[in-house]
Amino acid sequence: MNSDNTVLSSEKEDIAAFRAAIISTLDAIISSIDSDDAFSGINPYELRKRIGELPFLPEHGDGWDNVLESVKTDILPHMLRTWSPSYMPHLHSPALIESIAAELIIAAFNSSMDSWDQGPAATEIEVRTIRELCRLFGYTDDSDGVFTSGGSQSNISAAIIFRDMFIEKLTGRDVKKHGLPDDFYKLRLYTSEISHFSFDKGAHMMGLGYDSVVKLPVDEKERIDIGKAREIIREDYERGLHPFLIAATIGTTDFGSIDDIQQLREIADEFGMFLHADAAYGSGAILSSYRKRIGDLSLADSITVDFHKMFLLPISASALLVRNGKNLDVFQLHADYLNREEDEEDGYINLVGKSMQTTRRFDALKVYISFRMRGEDGYRKIMDTSIGNAAYFYERISRDDDFIAPIEPELSSVVFALRGGDDRNKKTRRRLLSEGVVIGQTVFEGKTMLKFTLLNPALTHEHIDRLIERIKE
Ligand SMILES: *Cc1c(COP(=O)(O)O)cnc(C)c1O
């Protein structure tokens, strides 16, 4: 490819350059898949030094062939290989093959989701995908949703929506126009003490501050303790505070524990609150044989679904689903240059009105392509393998005196420790990392723990057995 070819066009030469660029890239990727290790094991100082020595914006461009060669030798070998059976620290998955192809389509067409005229088919596919996802989670046709940049944005969007709606309901004030009321510091959002930190971040951005987020204690299975939750909320309510939202976690980041949505719905109703289900992780179970474990999420006023976790789609892909679609109007604002009101009257849907983003990726295509290609049975196999592997690993180490495993997994994560103290566990993780095996580390009841997050559907019981042996060594 020469630098006279700039953008993809109908010119024969541009098409040939595009084809050559993609094929040489494919070759570079494939030639880098030369081991099953997750990571080269290079230390951070060495890697930083090497990357610091690479050209950045040279006076004269290096040309495609040189750049690709350098990417292949200097960068790709130290990329994390998400598909490796030795990679299991985070809710970070390998990508389904067809969804990588979908990314190519997304980049080639570069659609944007803000207005119909920037992505006609993209808009209609997102609308259809959201409709079907709402049905999958049991919402009626009044529901709606939007794709977001990730679970954090989905959660924060939900918190903004229900803060505004709650204040409107309580005082008639339009927060969008007039900002927060004087006694905004009385607003309270309740979530488990082990929920995701996006609620704290969101509280800061929303002008409420961390103090507005009340962390509810968990029971012996790491779920919100319902009795204590009701007492804490009642006390706050009776003290004149304004409890506005409960955020249930459907699959906590470490344990995969699942809050009881039915009971939290009852508490929310008792105190006139909204209920959000952060199912960034656990939403994948809806397509598994274990879907009952996550409860009836249609009881929640909104649901966060991450497709870049259990669903194995490339980053990023997430959606916020809302039970009453009108609630998304919180983000509606018209601009003469973008989303004219008259457009909507004529059937042109401008999705910018449902999102805090303006320019936005066509991530819905990945969901559409993978759902259609795999079907319910294909996805069920993937989810069941992941959940089944966690059950197998837990079972193995519970019978082994070298290990402690405090909680039986409901999803695909297992938190455990080697007996012998924090140091032994920390050293084990570092040692494995330098050997290309990447596992997780966290803290439970003040003790350092290790963690397996078993999202990779190619992982077998034999892989797990070998890892157990390696850790023991
Ligand atoms: C991963 C996760 C999030 C954050 O999602 P991102 O896509 O990383 O922004 C929120 N909540 C839970 C429970 C998660 O596991």
pLDDT at 335: 81
Q: Minimum mean pLDDT among 45-59, 193-207, 278-292, 422-436: which range?
A: 422-436
3-state DSSP assignment of residue 375: helix
Per-residue pLDDT, averaged over 88-109, amounts to 96
pLDDT tens for residues 234-291?
999 999 999 999 999 999 999 999 999 999 999 999 999 999 999 999 999 999 999 9
Tell whether ligand 1 has an atom less than 6 A from the beta carbon of residue 157. Answer: no
Which of the listed residues 195, 213, 253 should we mutate to test ligand 1's pocket, taking the one with most ligand atoms within 8 A of CB? 253
Longest dimension (CA), the chain: 73
Tell whether ligand 1 has an atom less than 6 A from the beta carbon of residue 278. Answer: yes
Model confidence at 107, in pLDDT bands (50, 70, 90)?
Answer: very high
pLDDT at 112: 97
What separation in Å is there between the alpha carbon of 152 and the centre of ligand 1?
A: 6
Which of the listed residues 196, 200, 218, 261 should we mutate to test ligand 1's pocket, taking the one with most ligand atoms within 8 A of CB? 196
- Residue 418 to residue 423: CA distance in whole angstroms: 10
- The packing angle between helices 97-109 and 364-398, to 10°, is 150
The DSSP string of 308-361 is TTTT-PPS--EEEEESSGGGGGGG----TTT--HHHHHTT---GGGG-S-SS--
Whats the size of the chain, residue-wise?
Answer: 473
Q: Minimum mean pLDDT among 65-79, 171-185, 337-351, 369-383: which range?
A: 337-351
Tell whether ligand 1 has an atom less than 6 A from the beta carbon of residue 320. Answer: no
Task: Name every residue whose Cβ is closer than 8 Å to that of residue 53 and which is 6 or more positions away in sequence.
Answer: none
pLDDT at 98: 98
Q: Look at residue 334 and tell me whether its pLDDT is greater than 90.
A: no
What separation in Å is there between the alpha carbon of 151 and the centre of ligand 1?
A: 4
What separation in Å is there between the alpha carbon of 425 and the centre of ligand 1?
A: 25
Tell me the domains of the chain and their CATH numbers: 105-369 (3.40.640.10)
CA nearest neighbour of 277 among 455, 140, 172, 158: 158
CB 286 within 8 A of CB 294: yes
pLDDT at 398: 96
pLDDT at 435: 87
Give the strand pairing for 447-453 and 413-418. Answer: antiparallel
Tell whether ligand 1 has an atom less than 6 A from the beta carbon of residue 287. Answer: no
What separation in Å is there between the alpha carbon of 162 and the centre of ligand 1?
A: 19
Q: Minimum mean pLDDT among 214-228, 284-298, 337-351, 401-415: which range?
A: 337-351
Model confidence at 337, in pLDDT bands (50, 70, 90)?
Answer: confident
Q: What's the pTM?
A: 0.96
Q: Which atom of ligand 1 lies closest to the CA of 195?
A: 13
What separation in Å is there between the alpha carbon of 200 and the centre of ligand 1?
A: 13
pLDDT at 180: 97
pLDDT tens for residues 32-82?
998 888 999 899 999 999 999 999 999 999 999 999 999 999 999 999 999
What separation in Å is there between the alpha carbon of 254 and the centre of ligand 1?
A: 11
What is the pLDDT of the chain when averaged over all its residues? 96
Per-residue pLDDT, averaged over 380-405, amounts to 97
pLDDT tens for residues 127-169?
999 999 999 999 999 999 999 999 999 999 999 999 999 999 9
Per-residue pLDDT, averaged over 100-107, amounts to 98
What separation in Å is there between the alpha carbon of 305 and the centre of ligand 1?
A: 9
